[in-house]
Amino acid sequence: PPYEPLGEEREGERRPPSAVVLVEPPPHPPPRDHLAWSLCSALYANVCCLGFLALVFSIKSRDRKLLGDYSGALSYGSTAKYLNITTLVLNILLSILFVALLATGTIVLGNLIHLSQEHGPFDGPT
């Protein structure tokens, strides 16, 4: 044959046993629950109770994460994120609307006061 058969190993020539090392990929980071953002939305910007709903979904996401259900936690966390974004956008729009109405109301009120000082009080036609 083209190869030589191996002979018996001697006691001094024994090889150490081989070890198998399993390398696992690094674990994925747990999904975010956005609890702090939801808490701020619920306390400071609770437009149409959306901040409270975001807080509820954040707590559900955290519970799912603790139970090991990462897909459920991801779903609840993403719902909480979208509710928080909606709350933030509505809060910004309402703040702009409030400032605009306050500014125009102040201007109209100032014009009325100015006209009443020029022409006197409105007592009716004379």
Q: At 20, list the tokens.
A: 């198998």
Task: For residue 21, name the pLDDT band (cuts at 50, 70, 90).
Answer: confident
Contact between residue 73 and residue 61 where contact means Cβ atoms under 8 Å apart: yes
Encode pLDDT of 25-84 as tens digits.
888 888 999 999 999 999 997 888 999 999 999 999 999 999 989 999 999 999 999 999
Least confident residue range of 67-71, 99-103, 104-108, 122-126: 122-126
Q: At 29, list the tokens.
A: 């980071």
**What is the value of pTM for the model shown?**
0.66
Long-range contacts of 25-28 (CB under 8 A, 24+ apart): 28/70
